[in-house]
Amino acid sequence: MSLRVAVASSDGITVNEHFGKASRFLIFDIKYDLVELIEERNTIPICRTNGHVEEKIDETIKLISDCEVVLVSKIGMGPELALQGKGIKVFEISMEINKALERFTKFV
């Protein structure tokens, strides 16, 4: 059994990006106790100074639609509900990526 996780991070070390402000997602596969970074997926942030660009929400969700879990520092209700509607679990956390992913190895 494996788990694919999308992580919103600006520095590659911590989960520190708001879903709507993320310009990239790091994609990890977790299988048993092994965690592997498989790729970095770039996106255009959906949050602007005057609100969200609604059509970009769907594009971002499609970009990470093969993931079962998304880790972000923050997320708005609309995008969170849209992700949940696709069966993707969302976790708001702010911590080192390796520590966050280590927690998921116990469930895979």
What is the per-residue pLDDT across 48-83, written as a single tens digit (0 to 9) for each?
656 666 778 899 999 999 999 999 999 999 899 999
Instruction: Tell me the two tokens of residue 39.
Output: 């790729």
Q: What is the pLDDT of residue 49?
A: 59
What is the number of domains present in the chain?
1
Tell me the C-alpha distance between 17 and 3, whole Å.
21
Q: What is the pLDDT of residue 51?
A: 60
Report the mean per-residue pLDDT for the chain: 92
- Average pLDDT of span 26-37: 94
**How does residue 105 score in pLDDT terms, banded at 50, 70 and 90?**
confident
- Long-range contacts of residues 48-54, Cβ cutoff 8 Å, at least 24 apart: 52/20, 52/76, 52/78, 52/79
Q: What is the pLDDT of residue 48?
A: 66
Here the CATH number for the domain that contains residue 19 is 3.30.420.130
The label of the residue with tokens 């600006």 reads: 10
pTM above 0.75, yes or no: yes
